[in-house]
Structure formats: C-alpha cells, structure tokens
Amino acid sequence: MTFFDESRLDDEVILAAADVRLRALAESGARVRRAALAERETGRLDGSPRAVVAAGPDSRLLRAVLEPTCPVPFVAWANAGLPGWVGALDLVVVLAPGGEDPQTASAVAEAVRRGAHVLVATRAGSLVAQHAVGRDTTLLEVDTHDQLALAVLALNVLGAYGLGPVTEPEDVAVALDDVAIACSPGRELTVNPAKELAIAHADTTPLVWGGSVPVARAARRIAESLRRATGRTALAGSADQLIPLLERAPLRDVFADPFDGEGAEVRPSLVVLDEPDPEPIVLDDRRRLLEIADARGVRVDIVSLPEAAASRTSLAHYAALVLQGAYVAEYLGLGLVEG
C-alpha cells in the first residue's frame, strides 16, 4: 500500500537524494538564457511566407503563442513528415532538442528539398542539423535538451520576422527564476506553494484546468508531470470534459474515518490555473467548475504565480505554470512511500 508522508518534503536527506532532479528544475531560467545566445546560421526570409508550419511535439505550443497574431495561416503538424502542399512559399519550424530522431531529420530534409524556408533549433552537429543545411535555412545551434528553451528561442526569431509577438527570453527566464525561488526545496512547507499543493492533492485524483489556449496547454503538461512522477491518475481537459467527472464525485461522508483508507474511493480534486485578464468565456467556465465542485464537496485549489512571474507575457506565464506544476509533481513523488 502506498501512502503520502509529508515530513519527507522537509527532510534534508530525502531532498539531497533528489538534488539532481530538483536542480534541473531550478536551472530552467538559466537554460532559457543560454539558448538565447545560440549561434545561428541565418537564411533569408524575404517578406511574409504563405503559411507557417510547425512540425514536432511542441508545435502546438508555438501555435498557442503565435496563432492569435500571426499574419499568415499557422499549422501545427504533429504527424510524420510534412503536409503535401508545403513548398517554397512556406516557412517550416522544427524544434529538435536531441537532434537524433530520424523521422524529424527526414522532415527537415524534405522541407529543404522542397525549397521551403526552414527554421530549426537543435544541437550542433546532430543528425537534424546535418539535414538542415540549405540556402534558406536558419539553424539555431543549442546545447540543451530543454524543449521550452528551444521554443523561446524560436519564438524570439519568429517575432523578429514579424510573424508573432515580440518574445523576450529574459522575461521568460525571470519568471522561471521567480518560481524556482518560491518552490525551492529549502523553503519549508508553510511557505512553499509547490509543497502545499503536493500535500493537498496527495490522496486525490487531480483534475487540472486552464481556460485560455496557452494555460490549457500548461494544464496538460502539468497533468503529464503528475502522472510521470507518481504513476497515478491525473487529468487535464476543458470545462465540458471535467464537469461530468466532478458531477460523478461521491458526496463527502462527514462521518467517515479519515484514517481508514482501506477500500476508500479516491476522490477527485480540482486544480484551477489562474491567468491575468481572462476572457468572459473563461470566467464563465471557471464559475461552472467551481460551483459544481462546491456542490459535490470537491477540494479546489487556485494556482497563482509569484507576483513578478504573473505580471509578464503569456509565454512567461505558461512557462512559470508548467515549472510550478513540475515542482508539485516532484514533491508528490518524494512524499509517496510504500507501507
């Protein structure tokens, strides 16, 4: 049987054993800064392309940031290869942290062969970099496997091309630093938002919700982190997807023995990701979720960010939410023990 021991989250020995993973989270801002200094071999982009095609696993993040303001059609292509219509009038964007995936290298080579403009962020000398050589290729050579750092770098270049909002890597890095300080393992339970959330949702099935497109994507990334760290169920979805799960939650039995976990049903909990200046439809969905959760006696936590992080751009806000969720997942994993 697995149970959660919150004392482990302030245990120096336990935290020291997880130092490598926690340090990797703390260095997120530094990786964004280093990636922003990437050497680049810059191809020409004369005028606006007919369309922008983002290929690869983080293509939907690029779309979430760029689509509202991109002056040309934007396609997030998570499938193998490229759409059949891509050609010399289009811009293909590829993020390849490891750079050794043959399928990604093949897609890049195909884009070059068709004469498309290509923007690739990958490791120097990698298989993908070798296939990206071309007159109209912008190659961003990085030394990190951090997908977010590559996305920030690519968005910075796309903003300079006039295809999206101006992205300042330093804004994202500072927001990540703020979260790393607030959620540091050295901060005790009572003043550490990530540890508090880990304790609050240790014995539940978290349902993670974000309203706007980038915040909803952050919710999915957080749910993935929770599942990976704990091996337990954690779900993210739209309000319409989560409301039926809340409505089926059993009403809390006030006479139940809280220490008798044997055979007890794991209840859902609701994790709402806050965001600045939400649109009316987002506020309406949030209201519906909170009302149903309250009616069923489901625990609710509103995840807000340190003030400095929350006041920055939508990309910085997304990155900070994902990092805070990663800290929560790490602390949940550390607190779980077999008994």
Among the residue ranges 131-145, 194-208, 212-226, the one predicted with the least confidence is 131-145
CATH topology of domain 30-168: Rossmann fold (3.40.50)
3-state helix, strand, coil in the chain (%, to 5): 45, 15, 35
Among the residue ranges 10-24, 31-45, 262-276, 319-333, the one predicted with the least confidence is 31-45
Q: What does the pLDDT read at residue 165?
A: 87
Cα distances (angstroms) measured from residue 218 to each of 22, 69, 305, 319: 19, 20, 13, 8
d(CA 236, CA 168): 28
Strands 300-303 and 235-236, sheet pairing: unpaired
Residues with Cβ within 8 Å of residue 214, at least 6 apart in sequence: 61, 64, 65, 314, 315, 317, 318
List pLDDT tens digits, range 212-222: 988 999 999 99
Residue range(s) in the chain whose domain bears CATH number 3.40.50.10490: 2-18+185-338, 30-168
List pLDDT tens digits, range 218-241: 999 999 999 999 999 999 999 999
User: Taking 90 as the threshold, does the pLDDT of residue 160 lie above it?
Assistant: no
List pLDDT tens digits, range 139-154: 998 888 898 999 999 9
Can you spell out the DSSP letters for 298-337? Answer: --EEEE---HHHHTS-HHHHHHHHHHHHHHHHHHHHHHEE
CATH class, domain 2-18+185-338, is alpha beta
Report which of 229, 143, 314 is spatially closest to residue 221, judged by C-alpha positions: 229
List pLDDT tens digits, range 56-65: 777 888 888 8
Q: Residue 146's Cα: distance from chain center in Å? A: 11
Q: What does the pLDDT read at residue 60?
A: 82
Residues with Cβ within 8 Å of residue 160, at least 6 apart in sequence: 166
